[in-house]
Amino acid sequence: MKEWNVEICDVTLRDGEQTPGVTLSLEEKCTIARMLDEAGIDCIEAGFPAVSAGELASVHAVAALGLDAKISCLCRAGVADIDAAVDADVSMVNIFLAVSSLHLRCKFHQSRDQVIASAMDAVEYAKDHGLFVRFAAEDASRTNMEDLLAVYTASRDRRADMIGFSDTTGCLIPSEIASAVGRITHAVDLPLSVHCHNDLGCAVANTITAAAVGAFQLHTCVNGIGERAGNAALDEVLTILRCKGGVDRYDLSLMPKLSAAVAEASGVAVGKNKPLTGRYAFSHESGIHIAAMLEDPATYEYVSPELLGRQRRFYLGKHSGRKALEHVLRHMGIVADEDQITDILAEIKYRSEQKCSVTFPVLRELIERRHL
């Protein structure tokens, strides 16, 4: 399998913190940054230093950690924001500008030419201060393609190092982002980053599709947090890159630990059935499934739990069968005859139908009552 040419820019410390009600302390940001770096993440967007003195300090603290990852920050297209980035001592800035007609009308009340001319001055100012510049078009997904290409070309001519495509409202589906990325990468000879939101549930799919057709930098958030419905989930993007894109340089075994740290710091719990890092991601109850998996786990698992540093779990409920129960009893060191297994299984199904979870302690209680 040919390895896709991509890198990851994780934006948990910036867009993740824009999740309603979420604020990360300086210490939490540094802890998460170290964990991202340990996992091999290429770039970390540490925050938005122009927001406040405290935010500038936290971005500066992350930049001072001496990580292998490049440290970036978000900037509006203005001198004051670039100066804040310089003070924060980052190596890269993400200069964003709303370029759709809707945003230009509602946010700037100026002509497109006036807004773009001012933004290009900011790009050049950042370059003059020795920064790597990614020029990102906000609301790119709802911008006329000719206008979008014109602003990307202008940023290239003013020495931008990378261009960014933001699906700010998460309005695209994979076929649409494939078409857009294909046109952009063909027309503008700069690396392209993609920043996908999850409003329609397509953030991960759109990110991977963009990578497959030529996007270079992929934006992610741990646990998929972020504005509104969030962003592309880091663990999901990395795992798909491993399985479908041949990209194996990231340490996926650190994802559960990272997921738990961000859930704790943000206060945003991970859904039990979230892919890969959710509690039930590698859990099985169906008797038919478990019977097959006892022969070969690949029958019902495309991704092995070991890849993510996790363990497979079997649950007992009304869908469970004899083989699953026999396997669990062996695991518990309990020997039971056929009649006892039939009796216990019937009780498990009854309790499950009463919406009572049959956990291992409950199972042990049932068994002890039968003096096994």
Q: CB within 8 A of 109, min separation 6: which ones?
A: none
pLDDT reported for residue 253: 98
| Single-letter amino acid code for the residue at 252 | L
Q: Are 294 and 317 in contact (CB under 8 A)?
A: no
Beta bridge mates, 196? 167
Give CA separation, 205 vs 47, 194, 277, 291, 327, in Å.
Answer: 25, 12, 17, 32, 37
pLDDT reported for residue 372: 57
CA distance 317 to 126: 60
Average pLDDT per consecutive 10 residues, the chain (372 residues; last block may be shorter): 93 97 97 98 98 97 98 96 98 92 75 85 97 96 95 97 98 98 98 98 98 98 97 98 97 98 98 96 87 90 97 85 83 82 85 76 77 56
Q: Are 232 and 204 in contact (CB under 8 A)?
A: yes
Give CA separation, 118 vs 12, 112, 326, in Å.
Answer: 29, 10, 71
Q: End-to-end alpha-carbon separation of the chain, Å?
A: 52
Nearest of 127, 147, 134 to residue 96 by alpha carbon = 134
Q: Is 127 helix (H, G, I), strand (E, B) or coil?
A: helix
Residue 252 tokens read as 């996926």
pLDDT reported for residue 371: 54
| Single-letter amino acid code for the residue at 316 | L
Q: Give residue for tokens 């990102």.
A: 136
Q: Nearest 5 degrees, angle CA 356-CA 357-CA 359?
A: 140
Full set of structural domains in the chain with CATH: 7-266 (3.20.20.70), 283-369 (no CATH)
Nearest of 333, 227, 224, 340 to residue 274 by alpha carbon = 224
Nearest of 174, 184, 221 to residue 18 by alpha carbon = 221
Q: At residue 243, what are phi and psi to the nearest 5 degrees?
A: -80, -30
CA distance 218 to 169: 17
